[in-house]
Amino acid sequence: MSSIRIALVDDHQIVRDGLSALLAPLRDIEVVAQAGSGREAVILARKDVAEVFIMDIAMSDLNGLEATKRITAANPGAKVIMLSMHASEEYVVRSLQNGARGYLVKNAAPEELEAAIRKVASGGVYLSPSIGDTMRTHILSKTAETKSQDILTSRQREILQAIAEGTSTRDIAEKLCISPKTVETHRSQIMQKLNINNVPGLVRYAIRHGIITVD
């Protein structure tokens, strides 16, 4: 029997090591890769390294929601289980809409992690039991609805996250290998699309839509 290949994605090494230790006794589930950022996870997906990605939402540079969207676009066979501190409907819906096949809260029992991996690897959808039955039904129904295209492009969401995290225009430009003027143009377009005219407003939008989180 072939093993289910797992990639662990979290910006804290101790979390990745803990998850790896939990999965180590399971013979048919193998951790084959780790990533400390969403950007690294997308690279792994393009290389088809793993079948199932266990993904944190709250990561700097490229958050788990955006990484999930890019992973499933780059590798349609990849399956993502979101692992988060947040159990709110907004985060769960956005995760599933972005292509995640599972959602676990971080206080889940260890056996839930195994159950989620097996369910998702076999083609199912797994939502943490701590998400109530009523909310679960509503979430699946809402996720199945035809949604309009995102207002912002992938690059604009990436820049919005950086702005909301307090990164300077110069640092954003260096990180993305674009000019500061291009960053400013994107920021202007973001504000225009969202009808928001100041940075605090962008930060509130980013928090409300899961682009950044407040732990």
Picking from 181, 191, 187, 200, the residue whose alpha carbon sits closest to that of residue 158 is 187
The CA angle 136-31-103, to the nearest 5 degrees, is: 10
Structural domains of the chain ordered from first start: 4-144 (3.40.50.2300), 154-208 (1.10.10.10)
Percent residues over pLDDT 90 in the chain: 59
**Cα separation values, 61 from 26, 75, 176, 212, Å:** 32, 21, 10, 10
Give tens-digit pLDDT for 52-61: 999 999 888 7
CB 71 within 8 A of CB 99: yes
**Mean pLDDT over residues 178-205, rounded?**
92
- Is pLDDT at 116 greater than 50 in this prediction? yes
Per-residue pLDDT tens over the stretch 29-50: 999 999 999 999 999 999 999 9
User: For 2, phi and psi rounded to 5 degrees?
Assistant: -75, 150
What is the three-class DSSP state of 150? coil
Instruction: Provide, rounded to the nearest whole percent, the portion of the chain with pLDDT above 70.
Output: 90
Average pLDDT over residues 123-137: 77
141: number of Cβ within 10 Å:
9
- Supply the mean pLDDT for the chain: 87
* CA separation, residue 185 to residues 56, 94, 156, 168 (Å): 30, 27, 10, 14
- In DSSP terms, which residues pair with 7 in a beta bridge? 33, 53
Residue 94 has which token pair? 């956005």
What is the pLDDT, as a whole number, of residue 144? 53
Q: What angle do CA 24, 25, 29 make, to 5 degrees?
A: 65
Q: Which long-range contacts (CB under 8 A, 24 or more apart) does 88-95 make?
A: 89/135, 89/138, 89/139, 89/142, 90/208, 90/209, 90/210, 91/57, 91/210, 92/127, 92/131, 92/135, 92/139, 93/139, 93/142, 93/143, 94/65, 94/209, 94/210, 95/57, 95/64, 95/65, 95/68
